[in-house]
Amino acid sequence: MKPAVSHDSESENKSNEEKLLRNNREHEDLKSDAKEKNYPQSLPPNKMLSLSLQECRRLSAFSLYSTVSLGTSVMDMETLNTTLKDQEKVPKSQNIYDFLKRIILSTYESILTLKFMRVQIICLGAGCLSLGYVNFQMWIPFVIRNAGYSLEMSAWCVSSSSIANTIARVVMSFLSDRKWFNIKNGYMFSMFLLGSSIIAFSIVKDLTLFLICVCCWGLGIGIAYSLNATVFIATMGIEAFPAVFGVSSLFVAIFSVAFGPIVGIIRDATSSYTYALCFLGVAEWIGFGAWLLMPFAIKYDEKTMLIKKLKEIEEIT
């Protein structure tokens, strides 16, 4: 009977060894699957950048965890439906009240950025820039007609300014990303060009000079509005861009309402387009002069921020 027992024990040992080997293989397979699933996260940054688009798609979370992703998406859709139903239960008056409250709070937060001198210069420049755009463009046909030329020539001048505007925007889209291109200097040059071309347009009487002036004006407008957002980011940073853009747009609206009618009042009082257009040109030069002070404003803001931080440290200690 002893050999039979030994034979049975040997068979049991073999079966146990086979089970252990099978479990080890399954464990190794699970580890390899986990490594494959976490492959993008385990790679160093240089390898991550070298992955092709197809490899990234193969390693995407949706392709590896398709079942989980679908389940999660279904859950998200269910929660979205419930939230939408909850929103429907809320009275419309309350929704409108919350919406208006958010607008007022965001506007107030944007206005608080005016404590920085850089934002003050940006808003002044944006307001002056807006005066030299639409306010001047609508006067072009009247000035040319007043000089004795036909409506066809007036239309040609307006079209020429639009073509120059388009060319400047296309060129700036290529130049603004170059390292050697200074965005702030380009923006300042556009404002100086706008002021000079508007004042020159108010003085000249020849059709060829009219065309040259409006083409220069169109180039200035294209350069200025192409660099408008990038110059805000270069001056204040990407984090403060929404607030700065909002408060600058508010100043554009204020300048348009407050100073727009003044151009017509000057025209009616003097019976001449020259003084009215010179007012617009001087406004552009004021914006240009304000931007000349930007380096001093940057140093001033840095100094005030440093003093504020030192005071906070002293209060803590």
161 vs 168: CA distance, rounded Å: 11
Average pLDDT over residues 16-32: 60
pLDDT-based confidence at residue 114 (cuts at 50, 70, 90) = confident
pLDDT of residue 91: 60
59 vs 200: CA distance, rounded Å: 62
Tell me which of 15 and 258 has the higher pLDDT: 258
pLDDT of residue 12: 61
Q: From residue 174, give the alpha-carbon distance in Å to each of 163, 167, 181, 189.
A: 17, 11, 10, 17
pLDDT at 274 over 80: yes
34 token code pair:
């986990």
The amino acid at 62: F
pLDDT at 21 over 90: no
Instruction: Give the model confidence (pLDDT) of 47-74 as tens digits.
Output: 443 443 344 444 444 343 333 343 333 4
pLDDT-based confidence at residue 104 (cuts at 50, 70, 90) = confident
pLDDT-based confidence at residue 212 (cuts at 50, 70, 90) = very high
Query: Please, are residues 181 and 235 in contact by the beta-carbon 8 Å criterion?
Result: no
Q: Considering just the CA atoms, what is the radius of gyration of the chain in Å? A: 34
> Could you say which DSSP state residue 116 is in?
S
pLDDT at 241 over 80: yes
Query: Please, are residues 192 and 285 in contact by the beta-carbon 8 Å criterion?
Result: yes
> Could you say which DSSP state residue 113 is in?
G
pLDDT at 268 over 60: yes
CATH number of 117-310: 1.20.1250.20
Average pLDDT taken over every residue of the chain: 78
26 vs 29: CA distance, rounded Å: 5
What is the value of pTM for the model shown?
0.67
